[in-house]
Amino acid sequence: MRLFVLSLSLLSVFFVQAQTETRPGPVESKHLRNIRQLTYGADNAEAYWSPDGRWLTFQSNNPKWGLPCDQIYIMDVAKAAKDSTYRPTNVSQNHGRTTCSYFMPNSKNVLFASTMSAGDTCPAVPDLRAGGKYLWPIYKSYDIYVADRKGRIVKRLTNSPGYDAEAVLSPKGDKILFTSDRSGDLELWTMDLNGGNLKQVTFDLGYDGGAFFSPDGSKIVFRASRPKTEEEIREYKDLLKQGLVAPTNMEIFVCNVDGSNLHQVTQLGKANWAPYFHPAGKKIIFSSNHHSKRGYDFQLYMINEDGTGLEQITTESIFNSFPMFSPDGKRIAFCSNRNNGGTRDTNVFVADWVD
């Protein structure tokens, strides 16, 4: 997960311009065919498939829907692809700020993080340009919940002080993977579907997050910062105490579910994030701006798990991220600011995938 868990509205701070393109978008590479737009207007991202491949859950701050800040929605993919006026279902019901949603095994309940325990109002956004750095908020009031499709909370899974968010489900349907600062640093943890049997997965200093399981559920791919120098370590710790992180230096890592065999996949520099395993489990698709001279041009890339065979997937627009393959591996959902008429809108797209 994901937007490095930043409010989608903050994209407009980072992306200082957007290209104007016509709809429908062109075929960009040998891998993407029949690209369809699913949302229209504002910031929509972190769209992830249901186990049955019919639905996507995502977050939006669309003011036309009366949203005070990011909220969780589910959409019928077939209906959204055919009808630009289609209205998805609000699952989080405007209770606090929400992020990082994911379907439970039954495709009926949705997992997501919310600040609702601190109140229904959206928490204030701190100064995200303090000291001339680009920063992201890490809200301490985020906890992980499960809701049904009508927004009724079925279970609260975390209830400890600090940040708990970025939760995803194993393909085996037995474990939830999430990011937490309960150890004093932003690390990956697993828990059972009822919130029990907590286990810490990563231990190195830095922001570990945006994690997903491999198709067979045996591995984890994630993005992480790794401050090395005394100055970098001091800055990271100081910002974390303020509930902030600087997300401009991230690389992709892989480990086993228990944290063993941890290894770095990319060494590209800048921000490499939003990784997801290819259905065959041998490659990883991710978003990166390593090629960009100005920093805000994010394109999708694919790479072998051993760090070889880097391949660029997208070229259109200046923001492409959050790729996720459908359960059958035939489609891919992603988010992009293409086709936005010169605005700063980010929308959800789906395409047929060709190996």
Q: What is the 3-state secondary structure (H, E, C) of 97-108?
A: CEEEEEECCCCC
As a whole number, mean pLDDT of residues 4-22 equals 40
pLDDT in tens, 55-86: 999 999 999 999 999 999 999 999 999 999 99
Res. 3 pLDDT band, cuts 50 70 90: very low
At residue 159, the pLDDT reads: 95
Q: What is the pLDDT of residue 133?
A: 78
Specify whether the CB–CB gap between 42 and 60 falls below 8 A.
yes
79 secondary structure, DSSP code: H
Q: How far, CA to CA in Å, does 213 sit from each of 105, 160, 177, 210, 222?
A: 14, 24, 8, 11, 9
- pLDDT at 16 (0 to 100): 37
**If you compute the radius of gyration of the chain from its CA atoms, what whole number of angstroms results?**
18
Please give the mean pLDDT across all residues of the chain: 92
pLDDT at residue 20 greater than cutoff 70: no
**Where does the pLDDT of residue 132 fall: very low under 50, low under 70, confident under 90, or very high at 90 and above?**
confident
Region 19-27 average pLDDT:
42
Residue 11 C-alpha from the chain's centroid: 13
List pLDDT tens digits, range 87-112.
999 999 999 999 999 999 999 999 99
| The pLDDT value given to residue 261 | 98
What pLDDT sits at residue 27? Answer: 58
3-state secondary structure of 255: strand
pLDDT band for 253, please (50, 70, 90 cuts): very high
The CATH homologous superfamily of the domain defined by 8-353: TolB, C-terminal domain (2.120.10.30)
Closest listed residue to residue 235, CA positions, set 222, 223, 225, 221: 225
Mean pLDDT of 339-348: 94
Q: What was the pLDDT predicted at 70?
A: 97
% of the chain with per-residue pLDDT over 90: 86
pTM for the whole structure: 0.93
Give the model's confidence band at 128: pLDDT under 50 very low, under 70 low, under 90 confident, else very high: confident
Read off the pLDDT of each residue in 36-58 and give the average, rounded to a whole number: 97
Task: Quote the pLDDT of residue 11.
Answer: 45
Specify burial of residue 234 (Cβ count, 10 A radius: 0-12, 13-18, 19+): exposed
Confidence label for 26 from pLDDT (cuts 50, 70 and 90): low
Distance CA 164, CA 176 (A): 12
Residue ranges of domains in the chain = 8-353
The average pLDDT across 37-42 equals 96
Residue 333 contacts residue 49 (beta carbons within 8 Å): yes
Strands (E), 251-319: 251-256, 263-264, 272-277, 283-288, 299-304, 311-312
DSSP annotation of 64: G
Query: Average pLDDT for residues 146-154, to the nearest whole number?
Result: 96
Q: Quick check: 17 pLDDT over 70? A: no
Indicate the SS3 state at residue 220: strand
